[in-house]
Each structure stands twice: as structure tokens, then as C-alpha cells.
């Protein structure tokens, strides 16, 4: 019975992750493959292949446990881009471990352990298509956002957070004359708060806004 490991894509939706695991387990059982490990594939735009510990752990595991193939649902989530995904496949190939992509019934190695060139070409094409799809989605989102901002601008709708009312320096000086006088004497914020009833945070803000102009 061939030894295999399952690689499922981590999702924010736990049910989706469990669905992947269950689907792959059921498939392996039908194929009479012996599942000896399950690995979570976390694909982050911020992490390179070298920093993805779960992939390095999987590769180390298949090397030391005579695993014949890695089984996954789709190929597009192997890496952040085509080159990174192909690198994963190359490392598996070099260790005589085949990658089986269930959604397309593709296997990267032949039965004798040699690389299947046709499947390699198909994998590259599928990865490029997935990359183009992600780029198209990103461009559509950016275009939609730009159009929405332009529409709001034409209609006079203010974007972003509503600006909060900020007192200018002069108004602070007028309202907090006593506090400023005590600050000039070098009294601590906590003691000024006790003397005036003004909060420490407000006194700190008064100091930040006004004391520079008062030093001279």
C-alpha cells in the first residue's frame, strides 16, 4: 500500500478546511493509499517558501518516511506565484515524491519515478492561469474602488473618517491658562491634574500643543 500525505489549504473557514481533509481522505481510501500524515498549507503573501515552516516540515517528513506521493485538491495554492509553486514541485520530484492534484487527476511522476513532462507543462499552464485570474480580480477591485471614489468626489461625498474637531493653539492657551502656568513652573502632570481637576491626558495634550511656543 502506497504511503501518502495529505496537504490541505488553511482557510479562515474551519468548515472549508475540514471539507478538504474529508474529501482527500475519502479519495485516498478509494485509491487504497495509506495516509501517514496531514499537513496544513498556509499561503501568505508576506512569506517566502524558505519561511514557510509547514512546507519544510512536510518535505522533511516525506524524505524520512518513504512517502510516495503528496495529495492535494488544487495546484494554485502551492505558492504565492508560479515560480514558488514550481519550486515545491521540483523539490518533491528530486526526492522521488509525486504530487497528485485531485481536481485534475494529475500526477507529476510516472510509475517508474521519472518526471512526467506533459503533466509538468499542464501544471505550469494551470499555475499561470490562476496567477492571471488573481491579477484580473485585483485589477477589477482597484478599478471599482477608483470609480467609487471618483463618483463620491463628484457628488460631494467626503471619504474616510470624519475629521474630529481640533482646538487651535490659541484656544487651548485661553482655556487652560492656569494649567499652562503650572506647567511652566515645572509641576508634574499628575499634580496639576489634582490642583485643577483637568485630566492628565488633557494636560499632556496642552503641553504638547502649547509649551513649544511658550518656552521663549
Domain ranges across the chain? 3-131, 169-214
- Render each residue's pLDDT in the chain as its tens digit; 216 residues: 899 999 887 655 667 778 888 999 999 999 999 999 998 766 554 455 566 677 788 888 988 898 999 999 888 767 777 888 888 899 899 989 999 999 899 999 999 989 999 999 999 998 888 778 767 877 788 777 777 777 777 777 665 544 444 456 777 778 888 888 888 888 888 888 888 888 888 888 888 877 654 444
Architecture of domain 3-131: 3-Layer(aba) Sandwich (3.40)
CB 87 within 8 A of CB 51: no
Lookup result for grid cell 522533511: 60
Cα 210–chain centre separation: 42
Q: Distance between CA atoms of 77 and 85, rounded to whole angstroms?
A: 8
pLDDT in tens, 64-75: 898 999 999 888
Give pLDDT tens digits for 22-49: 999 999 999 999 999 998 766 554 455 5
Amino acid at each position: 500500500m502506497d504511503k501518502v500525505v495529505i496537504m490541505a489549504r488553511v482557510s479562515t473557514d474551519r468548515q472549508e478546511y475540514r471539507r478538504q481533509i474529508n474529501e482527500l481522505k475519502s479519495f485516498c481510501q478509494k485509491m487504497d493509499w495509506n495516509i501517514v500524515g496531514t499537513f496544513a498549507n498556509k499561503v501568505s503573501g508576506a512569506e517566502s517558501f524558505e519561511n514557510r515552516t509547514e512546507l519544510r516540515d512536510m518535505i522533511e517528513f516525506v524524505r524520512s518516511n518513504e512517502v510516495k506521493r503528496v495529495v492535494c485538491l488544487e495546484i494554485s495554492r502551492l505558492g504565492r506565484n508560479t515560480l514558488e509553486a514550481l519550486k515545491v514541485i521540483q523539490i518533491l520530484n528530486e526526492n522521488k515524491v509525486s504530487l497528485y492534484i485531485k481536481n485534475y487527476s494529475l500526477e507529476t511522476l510516472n510509475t517508474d519515478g521519472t518526471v512526467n513532462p506533459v503533466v509538468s507543462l499542464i501544471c505550469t499552464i494551470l499555475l499561470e492561469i490562476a496567477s492571471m485570474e488573481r491579477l484580473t480580480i485585483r485589477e477589477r477591485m482597484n478599478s471599482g474602488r477608483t470609480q467609487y471614489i471618483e463618483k463620491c468626489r463628484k457628488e460631494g461625498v467626503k471619504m474616510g473618517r470624519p475629521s474630529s474637531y481640533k482646538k487651535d493653539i490659541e484656544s487651548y492657551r485661553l482655556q487652560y491658562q492656569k494649567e499652562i502656568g503650572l506647567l511652566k513652573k515645572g509641576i508634574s502632570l499628575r499634580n496639576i491634574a489634582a490642583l485643577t481637576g483637568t485630566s492628565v491626558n488633557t494636560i499632556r495634550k496642552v503641553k504638547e500643543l502649547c509649551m513649544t511656543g511658550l518656552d521663549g
